[in-house]
Chains A and B, each alone.
Chain A
């Protein structure tokens, strides 16, 4: 890790990623996953390790960036920053905006370091399962991943499963992995190698969200300048417990697929209030009400990578975009990543360490540009984001066909959001489709077509059983809650 940290470009790239992430996260409506999706095509020509570092740093920066408009204009830049709004804006009204921003930055920094320690500790031991993975276990792992993500979607299970199957269907376009026959290509040479997952991600997350934003009202401009004030020793002591609570909850939520920054922030806020000696101050400008959620969402930015790196299952939209970055560079996250591409994993750890330090330095200096950017007219911002998307997608393989495909997925993403169908299962279906199909067929070749091989293999049996448990559990819990009422909620936001 030290070698990676000392390499010429890791630190500058982490700084650049954090700066991009803070700017993107600070724009209301532009989530960390969209900020990463916009950057994804630009990393195509980069060294794989640096590309991954840049994307991961963007994730770290965006989680902090979301708190800037939350504190200054009562509009969270990201879903995860929604829990920061109440006390952050109350502190701003009391003339303590700089202090609130400082607490947010400091708590995010500590949360990020905590998350990184958890990531380094957990990811590699989990990946040691690698030697036990047979083709049938890989197939079962793919099925488990899809079951978890679909059943933990905040929208309904049926819609989550439909999205997952649609993703698997998209993954069948192109050349058949066993026979080499062309499937669903409609004699188009552009479709021979299938639909690249990056186009699905940029289309759904970036173009889809852009279309959603065109029908949303603009946010107010930030009227004043704010200077960050870092907390002193007395404040460190006061916010230490909420930070610990936030980091612990962020760890649990991040490691479990389907959790996310927004859920962990609200849980951390509630727990911090429950354990506080001054619970009555929550909602009226309590520093603890900022420290807990900010520590939580920055912890998630690292711990969400545990299932992604070790099992190849992204637990959140942002982790899915990072997975897209791995795939774009021919790296397959999962059990074998630590064996085949250990240098990339080391580089990622080093990059995350650099990114968390960079967050403090860049976060302090970038306040002016952030305020300027958030105050730009929304139509201009949208137009420039649109220009970045079409230019970036073209840059991947210098193909206008790809731009058209990304626009198509954007329209589909808008429809999905309007109906309340989650994106993540579909992205996961596209990403895991090849693994699911090739390993399913390889396993059946080994067993002469006998499906019992999936039950006879112990690891496969455990993984498939877990998948069933998640789906049945989700069905039972939604029935208990009244699934119908839940489905009536329009336009539920995806997890970040």
Chain B
């Protein structure tokens, strides 16, 4: 339900506003400070965010009540199906692959890590037989290496490979 999403988002931004304010007031004063100071605008932003978040939370609670009344009068067919929930979780796997890449690339080097990222992402999203994916991923990673390292001259991590030779 949209109201639940708004409620969760509004509560999260409200918490963020409180945390941000707590950090803002801890910014030390400076001899060079002007009348506003380094904590001046952050505090105003925290107030603004808190106020707007409260409006969103209150509005979502009112909307939620209306939605629940409407659901009671019709049926409960609007509940999210398990398949839809699984679809929502799918992006989490892609992000996990991205994080694994960031962790692995200093050790395994750019080409191998990138090939792993391409193969894992396409396999995770249903890209077909793993053997074919490995060939495509290695070719793709080599193409990216040619573009970024050879053509554009950007040094990506080499990993432990140079120490072997």
A interface, CB within 8 angstroms of B: 42, 45, 158-159, 161-162, 165-166, 168-169, 172, 176, 178-181, 183-184, 207, 210-212, 214-215, 377-380, 382-384, 386-388, 390-391, 394-395, 398, 400, 403-404, 407, 410-411, 414-415, 418-421, 436-437, 440-441, 444-445, 448-449, 484, 487-490
Contact = CB atoms under 8 A, between A and B. Distances in A.
Contact of A487 (B6, B122, B154, B156): B6
Given A386-B97, A411-B95, 16 more contacts: A45-B154, A158-B59, A169-B49, A178-B34, A179-B30, A179-B38, A180-B32, A181-B27, A184-B42, A211-B91, A378-B125, A380-B122, A383-B117, A420-B5, A441-B34, A445-B34
Contact of A178 (B32, B46, B97): B32
Contacts of B5: 418-420, 490
Given A179-B30, A390-B114, A419-B9, A488 B56 contact: no
A176 B38 contact: yes
Contacts of B56: 158-159, 162
Contacts of B105: 400
B164 interface: no
- The B interface is mostly helix, strand or loop, or mixed, namely helix
Interface string B122-142: 111111100000001100110
Contacts of B8: 419
B41 A440 contact: yes
B contact residues, range: 35 or more
Contacts of A449: 35
A162 B53 contact: yes
A162 B24 CA distance: 18
Contacts of A180: 30, 32
Interface in B90-114: 90-91, 94-95, 97-99, 101-102, 105-106, 110, 114
A382 B27 contact: no
B144 to A, nearest CB: 5
Given A179-B33, A181-B27, A379-B125, A407 B98 contact: yes
Nearest to B49: A165
Contact of B98 (A168, A386, A418, A436): A386
Given A158-B59, A181-B38, A400 B87 contact: no
A212 B91 CA distance: 7
A169 B157 CA distance: 33
Interface in B38-63: 38-42, 45-46, 48-49, 52-53, 55-56, 59, 63
